[in-house]
Amino acid sequence: MNNSLYINEIQTLFDEVQRSQIFEDQKTMTDAVPLFSVSEINSKYENEKNAEGFDLKQFVLSHFDFLGTKISITRETQLPIDEHIEKLWDELTRTAYEEKGTLLKLPKPYVVPGGRFNEFFYWDSYFIMLGLQTSARIEMMENIIENCSYLIQTVGFVPNASRTHFLSRSQPPYFSLMLDLLFETTKDENIYIKYYDTLEKEYAFWMNGEKDLENGSSIKRVVKTSDGDILNRYFDEENKPRPESYLIDIEDSENAGKEFYRNIRSACESGWDFSSRWFADGDKIQTIETLDLAQVDLNSLLWHLENTLVRSSSLQNLSEKENYYSERATGRKQMIDKYFWDENSGTYKDCHAKKNTKTSSEHIAALYPLFLGLASDEQARSVAKNIEGKFLYQGGLVTTTKNSGQQWDFPNAWAPYQWLGFKSMKNYGFDDLAEKIKSNWSSNVERVYRNTGKLMEKYNALDIETVAGGGEYPNQDGFGWTNGVYLKLKQN
């Protein structure tokens, strides 16, 4: 069986299963493992599907294995939250030494997020690593880096998650930050040399196509502005419904543009699936325009990657390379100021590359230049004021100021941005605000844990009596990045 084409090979059956909604969650079928060869399943399906009394669900259940498609964690008695998380590290650890169905093989064990997410996720893994560092689980930190490196070396990038249907997109490029985290833990600079080739390969993936661009055009993940400046955007190679949200995408695509599916998938590359941040009208998903934007978070992360390549080149006395990446990093720092800093609102915004304007969405990705030390003291002061006034609530930092019903919008508070917020404020000496961010979110996590015995994927920052909602699926329990950020914040 050719796993990269696995879902395509059962497309007729897959289409029927997803459209008929025999499973509550569309992800269930994408994670299923065939018990027989695909040709045998297809043949039996074609022969039996029109027979009287044919039961589609029964057919699928007898031809696929659904074991492990969802992680459920129960305890006889409720442990103190720190002990619960320590146990979770082991319970969320998985291995995939061979490909099974859509699951990609990886050389090392890894930690999955939890709930319906039973595979290796790229940017989640960085925030999981924060907790592993606090728990002194150094070997697992090294495993995560090794798995990322393996993926970059074999497929050219780290996919959104370790499944074949994610081989058309990545996620926010955190690999260079993972190396920093391991260096902070081990003080061994050799990791920057060991993974130099991997860093270069990931950079080449994000910059692929830049040489062919004319002013005012874009290709893959690269945008060339009308002024001739190079920026980056999120992108997906495919323009068709996502297998894991198949029917949702088909239904949402009515009255949408011809690149609707690619815009949807490109938003998934950002990790923000979904948010009014991507919508032209700030309201309806049908107006999604991810492809027309260059994003402040992505460009800040790529500046960090360029800077890490400077460091890595310097350690090896590769002066030509060091100069090259240094020029790239210097140029990008200027571009971040030019295209993402919005003087009028005193914060960072995304850039609408086609219109050469800032987008109207107010969102928490404005933290990235502070998190990575790119903002001036004046800019940082202005962003901090904005964050405190518009984003900080009783239960933590919200992601946007707009309540659209999407999960990456108000009033939800997500773990990654509590860490980014805390660290950003610490970087620029706003210690009181950093403490407030830490305290508001951590006490929310503790309250929900006391009430439910669970650590959630996301939290409601406004109504701390309510479990967070919105989005394409219910709130999940586990939960990798919540565990990681909670432990790291408690340590600081």
Task: Determine the Cα–Cα distance for residues 332 and 128; give it in Å rounded to an integer.
Answer: 28
Is the backbone of residue 234 left (phi > 0), alpha (psi -120 to 50) or beta?
Answer: beta
Q: Quickly list DSSP for 237-268.
A: S--S--GGGHHHHHHHTTT--TTHHHHHHHHH
- Which residue numbers are catalytic? 273, 457
The count of other CB atoms within 10 Å of the CB of residue 48 is: 12
Burial 467-483 (b: 16+ CB within 10 A, else e): ebebbbbebbbbbbbbb
Per-position DSSP letters for 373-412, written without gaps between them: T-S-HHHHHHHHHHHHHHTEETTEE-SBS---S-TTSTTE
Nearest one of 229, 394, 227 to 299, comparing CA atoms: 229
Other Cβ atoms within 10 Å of 97 Cβ, number: 10
- 317 CB-contact burial (10 Å; exposed 0-12 / middle 13-18 / buried 19+): exposed
3-class DSSP string for 51-98: CCCCCHHHHHHHHEECCCCCCCCCCCCCCCHHHHHHHHHHHCEECCCC
Whether 291 contacts 259, CB under 8 Å: yes
Q: Number of helices (H) and strands (E) in the chain: give both, helices first.
A: 20, 16
d(CA 126, CA 481): 8
Cα 209 to the center of its chain, rounded Å: 23
CA distances from 475 to 235, 393, 414, 451, 478 (A): 26, 20, 11, 15, 10
How far does Cα 182 stand from its chain's mean position? Answer: 20
Asked if 173 and 233 touch (Cβ cutoff 8 Å), the reply is no
